[in-house]
Structures are given as structure tokens and as C-alpha cells.
Amino acid sequence: MTIQPFELQTNTTSKPKSIQVDGSRSDHHTYDDSYPFSYHLPHRHTQPDPIAARSNTSVADEYELTDPPVEQPIHPLVELGQHIIYGEHESARENANLNGDSFSGKMSRLGSEYSKWYTEQHMLPAPIAEAVRANRLYIHDLDHYALGTTNCIFIPFERLLCQGFSSGNGSLRTPNSIMTAMAQVAIIFQCQQNSQFGGVAANKLDYDLAPYVTRSFRKHLRKGLHYLGEWHRTAAQSPELQQATADALERLLAGAEMSDARLAKQYPLAYGYALEETRSETFQAAESLIHNLNTMSSRGGGQIPFTSINYGTCTSLEGRLVVESLLAATVRGLGHGETPIFPIQIFKCKRGINQQPGDPNYDLFLKAIDCSSKRLYPNFANLDAPLNLEHVVPGDPDTEFATMGCRTRVIADRFGRNHLSGKGNLSFNTINLVKLGIDYGVHQGLNAEADEHGFRQALDQCMELAAQALLHRYRIQAAQPAKASDFMMREGIWEGGEQLAPDEPVGELLKHGTLSIGFIGLAECMKALYGKHHGEDSHVHERALELIAYMRQACDALSERHRLNFSLMATPAEGLSGKFVRLDRQHYGSIDGVTDREYYTNSFHVPVYYEISAARKIQLEAPFHHYCNAGAISYIELDGNARHNAPAMIRIVQYALEQNISYFSINHPIDRCTACGHEGMIGSHCPACGSSETDVHIARLRRVTGYLTGDYQTRFNPAKQAEVRDRLKHHGETVTQDEHLRLHP
Ligand SMILES: [Zn+2]
């Protein structure tokens, strides 16, 4: 008699179509059951029983006594589960900030992969599924499609901190100090992250936190006045006089401001004490915020919340102190001095506020540059770019441009909410421009010249399918009850959500968010269409710009037609850049400069492997920013000496701002010797302690699609590792000799 080995074994006998999903499919949207979508997996016919393989003999021996096992087709989902459980699945590194090897990471992947499978099999309308399968379209965060989760949001911190909030398990009062306020900011980020799958951001954290610096200052001033003897209430006074003195103190404290010169004059000791204590408390608060945002996990899978904070334009002493402290804490680093991965920090650059000597926050801009040279953050947002000026209301910082760290941008709303906080992006789909380029370009050898007409028609189809997919998903999202995104709706993080009953669908409220259509591989698309990419040839650059302008017009037209906010995104393509090219190479073979690398170039970027000056790269990419109203970012790669060359960094950043780049960042490698803590560029040996990379771990920090990641050699997927290897660096010295950058000091 044989022992039935394990359930694992018996399940593998089920055939692809035999697993029935229960009848719980909702009927408020349509799908096509006949669509024969199959899962793409690495090819493996049989799966050795991993348990038997690891044990010594007993179970394996039992097999020997029975008939040889008949090879049965394994259901793709079962095979996928095995890949994840035994740690062989590529999805382990799909997201650079998720530890796919951990228990919680695997648990999360299992749920996620099932959810994708279910969506592909039972939800996606046939033409959309077909476009995905044909590698023309990519649906981001497909694992959240069926649930109707939304993407990202700018959080109205000002209101939450002022009114207090409930995490769901308990309520919090408005903070009375900057220390508590920053702790609450971390809690709010964490709570909100559970309501969405993308980023959570603060669009004006300096303004939001300034009032709590004041509260701390008043608290310290009270102590100072009391203990330093500058406010007297003597026993000799009558009770009435004592009461009057006490009342006067409360009035004084209620109106006390850090910037009040009279306070400094009348109570120099107490004022000096309060100032010093407030500075020290704010720094500690900032340090603990940054530590919290790098250590607390959210969602299944041990993911750190994807947090971004924008700041830099608040000119009050209190707001400035917040920024100064965040920068100082970032430079100081984490426990062992490591570079913090989160939050993504974005310094908002604005002429007249922080761009020239004499501007009130120019000193903060210099500190931001210094911090960026050491820690890669902050990035730089351009408030003066024409695209970002459109909805600015003077005096209302909630209308100032800010961005999710990954680049997502939401300001305009056809329903009038033209401010940032309280809304976000709902979802986005990306078009594979390269495939269209190959089909209609000169590279296949079929056409003597590019078939631009055919290309446009195919692009129109893709745009339409991308829009239909967003609309289909939007209907699923809008049908979800408020309680599904509990914190976000109950606390009104999404503006108006607080008015919904828990079972009420979020419906109409979501119309204020954006539906974004993204694109990838403009460079390879141009190469395939015309034989050159837009960095190589000015005519091709014109064509490329026309193409992106056309896509933006198409998004605007979709907005009119569907009365929703469609926008164009320069896609940050983390897992996607390798997927598209792998499938295209299978189909078309290796095409020079098109499918011959392991990745497609991000959005409209000039390829990282193309040799070009920093200024020229900026000039070529800048005009594209104007059309990408759902967000774009440009990078310049510097070598490891960037950290010692602040003047070069200032020139590059300001040149990018002048060229109207909307969101900008400088990449440079930061290696860290884990033996001695030395940071900088480290080759095979640490220059400080001499350790070899074969003996001690050298952590190599790099940026991937807007986010930093701990060590690119272990956390990046193979396509992104290849891209990092190919990145050509500009040298600090040659940058300052670049004639364009010299002309614009
Ligand atoms: Zn060392």
C-alpha cells in the first residue's frame, strides 16, 4: 500500500480549465469568459516533488514500489505557486522595495499572482486582454485591478493634524508639539498606505508642520519664563494681582511667535532658551520621522510605505526650521549613517523664494543641494515651469506644484478641485511605443521609409484600448464601498470621503482623480521608425516631440469625451522595461539599438548608454515635460565625485530649471563599505580600510524609477541591473566646462 505523498502532488493533476473560481463574481462590469488568456511562465513540464527531494529516502522509496508517476499537465497557477514558495519566481524582484524572499513577501506574492490570474481570466474585456497579450499595452498593478484599489494620493496633513483623526483602532488628538506632530505624520502615512497600492505624499510639509513648531516654542517659552525668573508672580501680591499676572502670561503665550523681536528683547533668557529647545526638538522630530519611515512596514509583504514629501517654499521661521531639520537628519543618515531610502524628498524650487542669493530660502536650496550630493535626495521640482503655473492661486500653497517621488503629478481637475491634497491618480496603463515603431518603421526591412500613417492609426487604437481599460477599471473602483479604503474615506483623506456611509460606493468622488496613459521606449521607437533616436538627430527629435504632443492631445480629447481627467504620463517602468523588450525580442529577434538590450529606455529619456553632454541631455528632454501632465522626471548621471562638487550640482539643477524641466534629479553612485562605513565610489577595494569586495559586503545604492533601493545588485530586477551598468556618467569637471552650463552660471 502506498502512502499518498502530499496534497501538493494530487493538486497538480488538475487541468488548466478545471479550476473553477467561485460564483462570487460581481455583475456591475462586463467580462468575456471565452477569452483564452494563458499565463506566461518559464517553461517547465514536470515539477520534482520538493519535499521528497529534500528528505532522504522514505517517501522517495515509496515511489519506487509503485508505477512510475504519469506526467500530468500542471495548472499554471499551481506551478506559479511553487515558483514563489520555493523562491524561483521573477516576481520576487519585480518591485525593488519588496523583499520577495521573505515569508511575508512570498505571502504577498501568492495573493498578488492569484489576483492577476483571476483578473486576466475573468475580468479583462477581450480586446484589452488581447492587447496585453500582444505586448502593446501594459496594465500597471494588475493585482489590484479586481479589488478596485486606487493608486496614490496627496494627503491633507494640515487638516488631519489640526482636527485630529482616528486610525480605526483609536483616535488621536491634535498634537501640541512638533515631536508629536511628526510622529503623527508617520502614522498617517502608514494608515493611508493600506488604502492604496501606490505612493502616499505630502505636498507642502513645511507649511503643514509650521504650526506645531510654534506650539513647541510656546511650551519651551513657558518653561523658560518660569525657571529663568523673567516672569514673576510673588507671594506678596494680592490674589487678584496674582490671577491677573497668570492671565497675562497665558495671553502672552497664546500669541508668542518665534519671529517676535519684542519677545527676544523683553525676555532674552527665556526666548533664547525656547529657541534653542525648539530647534533641538524639531531636529529630533525630523530624525525620528525619517527613521520611522524607513522601518515601519505596511501592507502584506513587508513593504515600507512609498512616502514622498515636498517642501521648500514656506518662508516662516517655523517652516524653514522644518526643512532645515529634515535635510540635516537626512544628511546624518540612519542608525549606522546609512542613506535613508524613504521618504523621497522633493525640494520645490521657486524664483524669488529660493533660487538666488537674497531670496528668503536660498540658504535652504544650498542645503538641499548639499544633501542631494550626499544622499541622492532631495530631487528638485520646478514651480516656475509653465505647465506648473497654470492653477497657482497666490497665497495658497495647496495649489503649488508638488509631485509623488516617482513623478506622478495631479493638479488639474475638470470638476474644479485644482489643488493637490485630497486626491490622486486612480490607475495607469502604458503603451509599448517600440512595438509600434518596429511594425511601421524601417527596421523590419519591409519599408523604405517609416509608415507614419500606419503608425498613427495603430497608436490611435492603442490609446483607445488604454482608455477603455482605464474606464473599465474606473467602474470597478467607483463601485467599491467606502469601507474598503476605510482610513482614506472615513477621515476624508480623499476629499469628501468623510461624508460617505461605510457601505456607500465611493462612486462620484473618484472623478476628481486622474486616469493616466503612459508610454515607454520613445528612443527605441524612433530608432525602429527612422533608424535614429531623438538624441542622435534633430529631425527625429522634432518627430518625437510631435508624437508626444499628439498623445497629450489625445488624452485631452478623451477627457472631453468621457468627462473624466485623462492625462499623459512619462512612465516610470520598473518591472515593465524588461518585460516589453523580452517579448518583443522573442517576436522580432534582436534588432540593433531597438531590442538588443535587456531593457527599453524609460519614457522619453535619451538612452543612458548614449554619449551626450549633461546640458545637451537636459535640452533634448526638457520640451517633453510640458506635455506629460501626469508627470515626468529627467535625470543626469554624475560620477561619484558629485558629492564633492556642489557648484557643479547647482549649475546643473538651475540649468534644468531654466530649460523648464518640471521635475529633475541627479543620480550618482553611492557605495558603502559595511566593514568601516566609508561612503563614496568603491571599486573592488574600500579606499578607507582596504577591505575587498569579495570579503566584505559593499552595498551599492542606486536609484530606480524615482525610488532609491538598498543595494541594486540584490534588489533590482535583471533588466534594471543592466540599465544601471550601462549608465554613462558625466564627470563633475567636464560639467563645469560644458559651454551651456558656463553660459548659465
Ligand atoms: Zn572600508
Tell me the pLDDT tens digit for each residue of 517-559. Answer: 999 999 999 999 999 999 999 999 999 999 999 999 999 999 9
CB 183 within 8 A of CB 161: no
Radius of gyration for the alpha carbons in the chain, expressed in angstroms and rounded: 28
Q: Residue 41: pLDDT above 70? A: no
Rounded to whole angstroms, how far apart are CA atoms 162 and 159?
5
Q: Which residues surround ligand 1, an ion (CB under 5 A)?
A: 673, 675-676, 678, 686, 688-689, 691
**Distance from the alpha carbon of residue 718 to the mean position of ligand 1, in angstroms:** 27
Level-2 CATH architecture, domain 153-399: Alpha-Beta Barrel (3.20)
Name the band, by pLDDT with cuts 50, 70 and 90, for residue 38.
Answer: very low
Tell me the pLDDT tens digit for each residue of 415-429. Answer: 999 999 999 999 999
Which stretch, 40-49, 494-503, 706-715, has highest mean pLDDT?
Answer: 494-503
Q: Can you give the residue ranges of every domain in the chain? A: 153-399
How many alpha carbons fall within 13 Å on the CB side of residue 351? 8
Name the band, by pLDDT with cuts 50, 70 and 90, for residue 719.
Answer: low
**Distance from the alpha carbon of residue 100 to the mean position of ligand 1, in angstroms:** 29
Query: What percent of the chain has a predicted confidence (pLDDT) above 70?
Result: 81
More confident residue, 694 or 494: 494
pTM score, two decimals? 0.86
Name the band, by pLDDT with cuts 50, 70 and 90, for residue 33.
Answer: very low
Confidence (pLDDT) at 710: 56
Confidence (pLDDT) at 673: 86
Q: Which amino acid is at 725?
A: R
**Distance from the alpha carbon of residue 697 to the mean position of ligand 1, in angstroms:** 10
**Distance from the alpha carbon of residue 338 to the mean position of ligand 1, in angstroms:** 14
Name the band, by pLDDT with cuts 50, 70 and 90, for residue 606.
Answer: very high
**Distance from the alpha carbon of residue 117 to the mean position of ligand 1, in angstroms:** 46
Q: Specify the range with the lowest mean pLDDT, choosing from 204-213, 529-538, 720-729.
A: 720-729
Confidence (pLDDT) at 672: 84
**Distance from the alpha carbon of residue 702 to the mean position of ligand 1, in angstroms:** 19
Confidence (pLDDT) at 22: 35
**Distance from the alpha carbon of residue 671 to the mean position of ligand 1, in angstroms:** 10
Confidence (pLDDT) at 32: 34
- What are the respective helix, strand and coil percentages of the chain, to the nearest 5? 45, 10, 40
CB 625 within 8 A of CB 634: yes
**Distance from the alpha carbon of residue 699 to the mean position of ligand 1, in angstroms:** 11
Q: Specify the range with the lowest mean pLDDT, choosing from 472-476, 493-497, 708-712, 741-745.
A: 741-745
Rounded to whole angstroms, how far apart are CA atoms 279 and 283?
6
**Nearest C-alpha neighbor of 426 from the set 145, 186, 81:** 145
Overall average pLDDT of the 429-433 stretch? 96
**Distance from the alpha carbon of residue 708 to the mean position of ligand 1, in angstroms:** 22
**Distance from the alpha carbon of residue 693 to the mean position of ligand 1, in angstroms:** 10
**Distance from the alpha carbon of residue 341 to the mean position of ligand 1, in angstroms:** 21
**Nearest C-alpha neighbor of 633 from the set 716, 704, 540:** 704
Overall average pLDDT of the 202-207 stretch? 98
More confident residue, 717 or 77: 77
**Distance from the alpha carbon of residue 635 to the mean position of ligand 1, in angstroms:** 29
User: Which whole-number Å values give the CA distances from 669 to 165, 683, 712, 742, in the listed order?
Assistant: 41, 11, 11, 25
Rounded to whole angstroms, how far apart are CA atoms 15 and 21?
14
More confident residue, 506 or 577: 506
**Distance from the alpha carbon of residue 99 to the mean position of ligand 1, in angstroms:** 26
Confidence (pLDDT) at 680: 77
Confidence (pLDDT) at 72: 74
Name the band, by pLDDT with cuts 50, 70 and 90, for residue 579.
Answer: confident
Tell me the pLDDT tens digit for each residue of 158-192. Answer: 999 999 999 888 899 999 999 999 999 999 999 99
Confidence (pLDDT) at 337: 83
**Distance from the alpha carbon of residue 234 to the mean position of ligand 1, in angstroms:** 62
**DSSP secondary-structure letter at 426?**
E
Length of the chain: 745
Q: Residue 20: pLDDT above 70? A: no
Angle in degrees, 0-180, between the axes of helices 646-658 and 362-375, rounded to the nearest 10: 110
Which residue bears the cell 523583499? 99
Overall average pLDDT of the 357-380 stretch? 96
- Cβ atoms within 10 A of the Cβ of 559, count? 18
Query: What percent of the chain has a predicted confidence (pLDDT) above 90?
Result: 61
- Cβ atoms within 10 A of the Cβ of 459, count? 22
More confident residue, 72 or 434: 434
Q: Residue 221: pLDDT above 80? A: yes
Secondary structure of residue 528 in the 3-state scheme: helix
**Distance from the alpha carbon of residue 685 to the mean position of ligand 1, in angstroms:** 8
Confidence (pLDDT) at 584: 95
Name the band, by pLDDT with cuts 50, 70 and 90, for residue 37.
Answer: very low
pLDDT, averaged across the chain = 85
**Distance from the alpha carbon of residue 683 to the mean position of ligand 1, in angstroms:** 11
**Distance from the alpha carbon of residue 324 to the mean position of ligand 1, in angstroms:** 30
**Distance from the alpha carbon of residue 690 to the mean position of ligand 1, in angstroms:** 6
**Nearest C-alpha neighbor of 345 from the set 363, 327, 324:** 327
**Distance from the alpha carbon of residue 216 to the mean position of ligand 1, in angstroms:** 41
**Distance from the alpha carbon of residue 303 to the mean position of ligand 1, in angstroms:** 29
Tell me the pLDDT tens digit for each residue of 280-339. Answer: 999 999 999 999 998 887 655 567 889 999 999 999 999 999 999 999 999 999 888 888
More confident residue, 91 or 512: 512
Strand order in the sheet with 344-349: 153-154, 200-202, 307-311, 344-349, 379-382, 663-667, 634-637
Overall average pLDDT of the 39-59 stretch? 42
Confidence (pLDDT) at 12: 34
Name the band, by pLDDT with cuts 50, 70 and 90, for residue 736.
Answer: low
Burial status of residue 461 (CB atoms within 10 A of its CB: 0-12, 13-18, 19 or more): middle
**Distance from the alpha carbon of residue 679 to the mean position of ligand 1, in angstroms:** 8
Q: Specify the range with the lowest mean pLDDT, choosing from 274-278, 375-379, 705-709.
A: 705-709
**Distance from the alpha carbon of residue 672 to the mean position of ligand 1, in angstroms:** 8
**Distance from the alpha carbon of residue 207 to the mean position of ligand 1, in angstroms:** 41
**Distance from the alpha carbon of residue 676 to the mean position of ligand 1, in angstroms:** 4
**Distance from the alpha carbon of residue 682 to the mean position of ligand 1, in angstroms:** 9
CB 612 within 8 A of CB 641: no
More confident residue, 700 or 130: 130
User: Which whole-number Å values give the CA distances from 364 to 182, 615, 640, in the listed order?
Assistant: 20, 24, 23
Q: Residue 127: pLDDT above 90? A: yes
**Distance from the alpha carbon of residue 700 to the mean position of ligand 1, in angstroms:** 13
Query: Which residues pair with residue 679 across a beta bridge?
Result: 672
Residue 77 CA, chain-centre distance (Å), reads 29
Rounded to whole angstroms, how far apart are CA atoms 477 and 461?
24
**Distance from the alpha carbon of residue 691 to the mean position of ligand 1, in angstroms:** 6
Name the band, by pLDDT with cuts 50, 70 and 90, for residue 51.
Answer: very low
Confidence (pLDDT) at 5: 34
Tell me the pLDDT tens digit for each residue of 674-690. Answer: 888 888 778 888 888 99
Query: Which residues pair with residue 431 across a beta bridge?
Result: 137, 519
**Distance from the alpha carbon of residue 675 to the mean position of ligand 1, in angstroms:** 5
**Nearest C-alpha neighbor of 745 from the set 633, 662, 658:** 658
Overall average pLDDT of the 480-498 stretch? 96
Write the CB contacts of 623 (distance below 8 Å, at least 6 apart in sequence).
545, 660
CB 199 within 8 A of CB 189: no
**Distance from the alpha carbon of residue 330 to the mean position of ligand 1, in angstroms:** 22
Residue 153, H or E segment: strand 153-154
Confidence (pLDDT) at 73: 80
Name the band, by pLDDT with cuts 50, 70 and 90, for residue 58.
Answer: very low
